[in-house]
Amino acid sequence: MVSGHLQEKNGYFHAVLSFKDEHGKRKTKWVSTELPVKGNKKKAELKLAEIRKAFVPPKQLTRDAEQMFSDYMLEWLQSMKPNIENITFAGYTRAVKNVIVPYFEPLGIAMKDLKASDIQRFYNHELQKVSAKTVQRYHANIHKALKDAVRMDIIVSNPAEKVTRPKAQKFVGSFYDSEEINQLFELSKGTRLELPILFGAFYGLRRAEIVGLRWTAIDFRQNTISIRHTVNSYKLDGKKVVEGKDRAKTKSSMRTLPLVPIFRDYLLQLKKKQEEYRRLCGNSYCKDYLDYLYVDELGRLIEPNYITHTFPSFLKKHELRKIRFHDLRHSCASLLLANNVPMKQIQEWLGHSDFSTTANIYAHLDYNSKLSSASALMAGLGFSESVE
């Protein structure tokens, strides 16, 4: 409870409270009891006790509040390492060490002095160089770090909450139609991109899911493919890391899909070819990735970045329309929609975590449902013309 005493002012008793602010400086606050001085001394003393009890002084900043914001961000980064995936930590590290700290370190701003305007200027500065979506990732790191600082009583409030979060333009992916997909299938035959193109366009697999395909996930008797494993590559502390995990992007990403005859034949041929390479290469054949589908002639895993970097040049070489490799996944969804597959089934096929994710991404492609809606309205209004 703060200390306080009664003081007369303009014929009324006032409670004068004494306390320290967040910076440890002594402050006073006057609160009227609304009681006239004459004949109300005891009532005023009771009122003073109530006011003292109810008053909550501001939290005092710790010595950590004197710490530079840039130094705090580095400490926060290390504190996050045990709690997040390695690939996520690698992304945090790039943002904090390569962008946030280099900007704020020369400014020498202490945690207690960091203002929303400082953060806003940083965002504005970065928006001149990178996309709004990238700055949103910086914002996510800064906001989380400062939220943790408030929780640890280092600062009183989170200045990042007052900042205008950059608004990214919604990205709409491109996609190939059935003719373009078939052309792509034909041109990729016998190349290292054949497997990822087939599984990306037909099954809508993500890059990490394709590289993570293993023979133990292929059931040739039941004719199923289980998506249970992913492979990601990233840089951490200047070193390249290739990491396989028995876990997909989300729980829903772990799914079992039918192995259709044409893919069954392709995989049996691929398996036979890999066994032949292993026999020919003998001890030179890499034994680390024997269970993986996407390996080279020496049994070495072909990394996810190979797909990303090689796919654009492949399209250019064959004079095909430019799309991202991930757009094959969009192409898969668009073909399913065009053939009247319900959105819920598309969600399950693609392994989205919830229906809204699928609907938000692909609703603009669902033209058939719009035709159905138009036909229903035409019938309801008694119009005779059909909608086609």
From start to end of 37-111, where are the E strands?
none
Residue-level pLDDT at 53: 85
Residue-level pLDDT at 370: 55
- The whole-angstrom separation of Cα 197 and Cα 184 is 8
Residue-level pLDDT at 250: 55
180-184 long-range contacts (CB < 8 A, ≥24 apart) are: 180/320, 180/321, 180/331, 181/331, 181/335, 183/320, 184/320
- The whole-angstrom separation of Cα 249 and Cα 204 is 14
Residue-level pLDDT at 52: 86
Give the tens place of pLDDT for each residue, 104-151. Answer: 999 999 999 999 999 999 999 999 999 999 999 999 999 999 999 999
Q: Model's pTM, two decimal places?
A: 0.71
| Series of mean pLDDT values for 10-residue runs along the chain (388 residues) | 86 87 76 90 90 75 78 96 92 96 96 96 96 95 96 93 86 83 96 97 94 97 94 87 77 81 96 97 96 97 96 97 93 83 83 64 54 60 59
DSSP per-residue codes, 291-308: TBSSB-TTSPBPPHHHHH
Instruction: List C-alpha distances in Å: 155 to 36, 37, 68, 329.
Output: 41, 41, 12, 45
Residue-level pLDDT at 95: 96
Residue-level pLDDT at 248: 54
Structure tokens that stand for 220 in this block: 């040739």
Structure tokens that stand for 50 in this block: 């109530």
Helix, strand or coil, per DSSP, at residue 214:
strand
Residue-level pLDDT at 97: 96
